[in-house]
């Protein structure tokens, strides 16, 4: 062994993880490049907005369902019939997410009741309003 020469090797798993990360990033970049072959800032921005909107709608829907479960305290009698989610731009030019869930619940008396509950969320995913929207 020679003195003064330090050899440094990268573990195989680190090299493989780095290669997978680079491959993933390249794939993501390719999906935001339009057919003409030159990426435009608007297409990249739109792709990012679509992904963040999709994530926020999924997260908001989960919060809304949990809210209904907690309010009903009888989740084994709950059945979701329909679910709508979308975003709106408010008068203050901010993005808001709106979720409406239509569900059927069986009361202790055995009667089936169908309700629709609506939820409004801020752009950051904070629940700001919930109401019955039948």
Q: Report which of residues 108 and 60 the model is more confident about.
A: 60
Q: Which two tokens stand for residue 99?
A: 């979720």
Q: Which burial class, exposed, middle or buried, applies to 130 when counting CB atoms under 10 A from its CB (0-12, 13-18, 19+)?
A: middle
pLDDT digits (tens, 9 = 90+) for 60-94: 888 888 888 888 765 567 788 998 888 888 888 88
Of all helices (H) and strands (E), which one includes residue 79?
strand 78-89
Enumerate the H helices of the chain as residue ranges: 12-31, 41-72
- Report the pLDDT value the prediction gives residue 106, as an integer from 0 to 100: 80
127: nearest Cα among 51, 62, 53: 62
Single pTM value for the model: 0.57
> With contact defined as beta carbons under 8 Å apart, do 102 and 114 qualify?
yes
Across the range 117-132, mean pLDDT stands at 89
pLDDT digits (tens, 9 = 90+) for 10-41: 677 777 777 777 777 777 655 544 455 444 44
């Amino acid at each position: 062994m020679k003195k003064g020469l330090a050899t440094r090797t990268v573990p195989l798993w680190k090299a493989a993880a780095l290669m997978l990360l680079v491959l993933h990033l390249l794939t993501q970049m390719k999906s935001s490049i339009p057919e003409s072959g030159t990426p435009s800032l608007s297409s990249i921005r739109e792709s990012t907005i679509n992904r963040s909107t999709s994530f926020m709608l999924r997260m908001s829907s989960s919060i809304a369902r949990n809210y209904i479960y907690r309010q009903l305290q009888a989740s084994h009698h709950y059945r979701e019939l329909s679910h709508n989610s979308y975003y709106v731009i408010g008068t203050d030019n901010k993005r808001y997410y709106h979720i409406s869930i239509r569900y059927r619940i069986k009361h202790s008396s055995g009667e089936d009741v169908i309700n629709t509950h609506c939820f409004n969320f801020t752009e950051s995913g904070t629940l700001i309003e919930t109401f019955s929207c039948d």
